[in-house]
Structure 1
Amino acid sequence: MTTRETNADWPSSLDDSELDELDNYLRTHAQDGHLLLDGVHGLLSAIAVGPVQVLPEEWLPEVLHEPFSDEDEGNRVLALLAKLNDSISAELDVDAYEPILGEVETEGGPALSAAGWCEGFSRGIDLRAGLWEKRLADDPSLMETLGPVMALAVDEGILSAEAEFEKLSDEEYDDCLAQLPAVLAAVNHYWSQHPATEAEIDATSLASQSKQEPATPPRQRSGHWVH
């Protein structure tokens, strides 16, 4: 993890031991389709840069799936999640955002993987799917801004491509990974400059009431977090 200078204005992000603690909790309780640490970071990142507020009671069910063993465990896990959530917006404010990525074994050794982060980011968008889908359809610039995220998500099988899609080369994949902080900053800026209108919010709220859950469950991931 990158070493940071001590600064009173610097975001209070989780340190390595706290990240390990949250990672271990999520892995211990993970079942098929559950988000791990990189996925939770992707989820919260999408929410942080999204069009409207998403309350914890809406996103926590995407992360926690069973009762805590006791009150102390519950308070601790919720505190870690709250700190992780708060740190994302704080990091974006000072251009210090870094995605938490997975690390998978390949023939050439360990490699970074955006699969979990993209899965979480996709679920974060799904929480306000109507607003995202309408604006993406109406404003090609937003789709262009999200290009590197979309490319990674399609490459990892998180999203389906309308046309035939060639797998990214290792260099292209790494280039998309390197662009993630800039993409998140740009999307955050986009929604601050072009906020969702009352009409958009009302229309998508009505549509979401009749929307059904996707039929295909998300894939389970493996790997280790890397920040």
Structure 2
Amino acid sequence: MTTSKTDWPSSLTDDELDELDRYLRAHVREGDDRLLLDGVHGLLSALAVGPLQVLPDEWLPEVLHEPFANEREGNRVLELLAKLNDSISAELDVDAYEPILGEIDTETGPQLSAAGWCEGFSRGIDLRAALWEGRLADDPQLMELLGPVMALAVDDGVLSADAEFEKLSDDEYDECLSQVPAVLDAVGQYWQAKPATEAEVEAMVQRHTAPDTDHDGTPPRHRSGHWVH
């Protein structure tokens, strides 16, 4: 696909990404489960390719957890989040999408990690869990499409595997990571070709309004790292 400069999506600049990253880091506490920039990008990516629209009033509580210091700060953070959200679909449309990754410290030095992005992607799916889970159980095509992302999530400990899972090699990890843009494009096309049925939407509504009994009190995982685009 060829695009002109006027068609190219208006993504956040590096300075804007730094600004949003600093805000999110300043409001994360040791041991809590708040998303950093890579996680927010994963969350919004899942929503961009998902079965039904999720409005900001529903996803913002997954990102923002306390009042802004002042109106100016609030307007700026919301502006950056809106721009990040809008850029994802635009980048997918012109094959320019790249996941925002974290960087973790290892014995051999800093290493890129998709853990935060996968955590956010998982939470994006959770916002429409009944639709995703029902379709994943009934249609193996969707599970196959999500294969590389699922492999990364299991490898990074974001998801647990039903069977014994052998850790990915560095090459396998990089290969799965390189497939993320294609996975998102394919999943988005899947939901366009096979939209949620009225029965699926009704089941989602019923589940959403039912009392929450799933929380088991398990403390959240701690994530660290900084964004890498």
- TM-score w.r.t. the length of structure 2 is 0.94
* Greater Cα shift, 201-210 or 52-61: 201-210
The residue that corresponds to 2:110 in the other structure is 110
Listed one character per residue, the Cα deviations across residues 82-107 of structure 1 (whole Å, up to 9, x for unaligned) are 00000001111111111000011222
* Greater Cα shift, 68-77 or 178-187: 178-187
Letter in 1 for 2:104: V
| CA distance in 1: counterparts of 2:176 and 2:213, whole angstroms | 32
The residue that corresponds to 1:17 in the other structure is 15
* Greater Cα shift, 196-205 or 55-64: 196-205
Listed one character per residue, the Cα deviations across residues 188-219 of structure 1 (whole Å, up to 9, x for unaligned) are 11111111111110122112222435323432
| CA distance in 1: counterparts of 2:179 and 2:49, whole angstroms | 15
| CA distance in 2: counterparts of 1:108 and 1:8, whole angstroms | 43
| CA distance in 2: counterparts of 1:184 and 1:72, whole angstroms | 34
| CA distance in 2: counterparts of 1:74 and 1:155, whole angstroms | 36
Tell me the secondary structure at the aligned position of residue 104 of structure 1: strand
The residue that corresponds to 2:33 in the other structure is 33
Q: Is 2:216 the counterpart of 1:218? A: no
The residue that corresponds to 1:172 in the other structure is 172
Q: Which runs of 5+ in 2 are unaligned?
A: none
Tell me the secondary structure at the aligned position of residue 227 of structure 2: strand
CA contact under 8 A between 1:35 and 1:220: conserved in structure 2?
no
| Aligned pairs, number | 223
Tell me the secondary structure at the aligned position of residue 224 of structure 1: coil
Letter in 2 for 1:224: H
Structural RMSD (CA): 1.3
Structure 1 residues 163-202: aligned runs within 5 Å: 163-202=163-202
| CA distance in 2: counterparts of 1:81 and 1:217, whole angstroms | 27
| CA distance in 2: counterparts of 1:152 and 1:144, whole angstroms | 14
Letter in 2 for 1:220: H
Q: Is 2:80 the counterpart of 1:80? A: yes
| CA distance in 2: counterparts of 1:213 and 1:22, whole angstroms | 32
The residue that corresponds to 2:92 in the other structure is 92
Displacement, 1:108? 2.4
